[in-house]
A and B are shown apart, each in its own frame.
Chain A
Amino acid sequence: MKAAGLATLLCLVALVPARAQDGVGNEDVPPTDLATLLERAEARYPALRANEAAVRAARARLDEARFSPFFQIDAQGGLTIAPRAEGTPIFSNQDQLPLDNGWAPVAEIGVRGAIPLYTFGKLRNAWRAGRAGVRAAELDAERSRARLRYDVRRAYFALQLALDIRQMIREGRGQLDRAVRKLDELIAEGDPDVNPMDRFRLRAALAEVDARSSQAERLEASSRAALETLTGETSVRIPDCPIAPVVLDDAALSDADPSSRPELGMLDALLEARRAAVEIQRGSYGPDVGLGFTAGISWGPGITDQENPFVSDAANRPSLGAGLVMRWSLDFVGQTYRVRRARAQLEETQARGDEARLGLQLEVDLSREALRDAMRREEAWGRGERDTRAWLVSAAQAYDIGAAEPKDLVDALKAYFEARFSHLQAVHDLNVAAAELSRVTGGGVSPTEGWEAPCD
């Protein structure tokens, strides 16, 4: 049941604003709501791409730890020239270094390697540390995403606030200008009902409006720039809807804790990596046992091939072998200190984790109290705005029939705009505090009706 209305005019005397300007950015750009801006930010923000690359790097490190130990195979080869030499192990009529014999090529090629069979837990714990690294990288990406979502929401609410304040100022500035002009006329006419001090009162209010206008202009520019930076948009225009307080479930607010915070998972991953490091160092007391193998051949056509297997002939030698091998560092004293260092680092990480948990819980507590404060202020200023608006309507009605003085109207007008400004600020603070609480609880607290009220 909608209709353009006249009957309204009977009550809108003091509430009808001057012609509003768009104030929402480039009119050629379609408006983009908060949800869409969040999607675009998550798709484009460079820090998230960096996190994705870090996750890929961590996965590659894990795969390297899994497969690389089984491919520790070296190949070697060489080609040179050497003096010709002839004879047998029993007789040769040539010198040991027959440089005058002329020279011929000598070539060698071979491979050798080892496949680990048992490492006393070193390999298993290296994989464990690699998995922890992947988990930490993934959670770091989630942390960055949560931070980005918070930043976008904060910038969006700030832009809404700036546009609302600028609209309010356009509305109030016109009314105050008209009131000042009227007062000047009445004073010039010598109206006995007009107190010249009312004029100063109005001019002081005008100065305050101008100062707040400047603040709102800066807030609009900075929040718009922040949104454009975060979302990669060249020109952001948001829906022409007033900022509205988000709705939160009080029980969820009371139960808020940081248990879903990515940072906690990152701490757990770091602890896991530290425990793995301790196990690796403890495993280093024991040897690495594996299957070793080697194969090679050298060929020197200028040197007589000695076919006796008991004769070492470096220039013409085939070789082939495989068997159990072992590598063992016997630096037990040094290893003791390496184990101690790894354990100390684990304890340090545990203690720092406990400290971080306390900090995260403190963040939740502070955010919750900031939110509750903002909710109380929003409720109080909401009442204040309604009351001062009723006051303004009453003052305007009374003034129009000669039952009130200009001072009454000026006081009501000033009180209304102060209350409305404070209410808008409180709504903004509430929404930002909710966004912050959502971030510090890892999404554990979210508005029941979404982050943006539907606006028809």
Chain B
Amino acid sequence: MRRTILLSFAFVLSFTAFAAAQPADAQRFLQERNTTVMRVMERPASEARDAELTRMLGELLDYEELSRRALARHWGEHSEAERAEFVGILKQLVERSYRSNLQRTLRYEIRYESSEVQGEDVLVKTEARNRSNRRAPAVSIDYVVARRGSAWRIVDITVDDGMSMVDNYRNQFERILRREGWEGLMTRMRGRLTEESAT
């Protein structure tokens, strides 16, 4: 009886330690990536630096998971090749958009508010505040981070308790797919890829 209690206690302890480690690891992943990219950004602009930034951005988000969640039921309706093309274009569009804003995000200070388990993922809540302009409103950003093998990847983002990126993409894709079909969606995305972002 005494041994059973000890074992149970040990199990609870180990489970608690495991559950606590996950959110902390996910938050550490975000913090380490931030620090690394900041260091790279401080270097003089060069092609090598841009290539490194592109690689880092590519490792930050799980684009396939993002695509799968955003396309929802439509994900399974398409071939491997179609999905791969979709993920590739989405990755390029998202990376281009964020890269164009990278320099300006250096002015932001990130405060990590909390991290908690959410289903199989970890939700990390942060607040970004402009360091050079304290009058700019703070922005709350919630990251949904998932483990992929030994690495962590961001799979969704929500700004100011609004619509998450996955939900937003899902709504937009659903609307376009219903009206214009798969080819219409791909044409739009390819078209955007060939032009500069207006933002």
* Interface positions of A (Cβ within 8 A of B): 1-20, 23, 163-164, 167, 171, 175, 178-179, 182-183, 186, 191, 193, 240-242, 385-387, 389-391, 393-394, 396-404, 406, 409, 420, 455
Contact = CB atoms under 8 A, between A and B. Distances in A.
Contacts of B172: 398, 401, 403-404
Contacts of A385: 137
A400 B173 contact: no
A291 B165 CA distance: 99
B160 A386 contact: yes
A252 B107 CA distance: 42
B34 A7 contact: yes
A8 B110 contact: yes
5 residue pairs, one from A and one from B, having the closest CB atoms: A390-B162, A20-B133, A402-B192, A5-B110, A403-B172
11 contacts: A3-B31, A4-B106, A4-B108, A6-B37, A7-B34, A11-B141, A12-B105, A13-B97, A13-B199, A20-B130, A20-B136
Contact of B168 (A12, A19, A394): A394
Given A8-B141, A164-B135, A403-B175, 17 more contacts: A3-B110, A7-B33, A7-B60, A9-B98, A9-B101, A9-B105, A11-B159, A12-B128, A12-B139, A12-B141, A16-B107, A19-B132, A20-B135, A167-B133, A193-B191, A242-B136, A390-B161
B191 A5 contact: no
B53 to A, nearest CB: 9
A420 B136 CA distance: 11
Given A397-B168, A402-B192, A2 B109 contact: yes
Which one of B31, B136, B169 has the greatest number of beta carbons of chain A within 10 Å? Answer: B136
Nearest to A22: B133
Contact of B134 (A8, A14, A182, A242): A242
A33 B3 CA distance: 65
B166 to A, nearest CB: 10
Nearest to B167: A394
Interface residues of B, number: 69
Contacts of B54: none
Contact of A391 (B35, B94, B98, B162): B162
Interface in B63-103: 90, 93-94, 96-98, 101-102
Contacts of B112: 1-3
A17 B111 contact: no
B195 interface: yes
B168 A398 contact: yes
B137 A242 contact: yes
B162 A15 contact: no
Contact of A6 (B105, B111, B159, B190): B105
B126 interface: yes
A285 to B, nearest CB: 72
Contacts of A389: 137, 159-160, 162
A186 B135 contact: no
A397 B134 CA distance: 25
B101 A12 contact: yes
B136 A6 contact: no
A178 B108 CA distance: 22
A182 B41 CA distance: 27
A164 B136 CA distance: 8
Nearest to B172: A403
B30 A7 contact: yes
Contacts of A240: 133-135
B38 interface: yes
Contact of A402 (B27, B30, B35, B188): B188
Which one of A13, A16, A396 has the greatest number of beta carbons of chain B within 10 Å? Answer: A16
Contacts of A409: 198-199
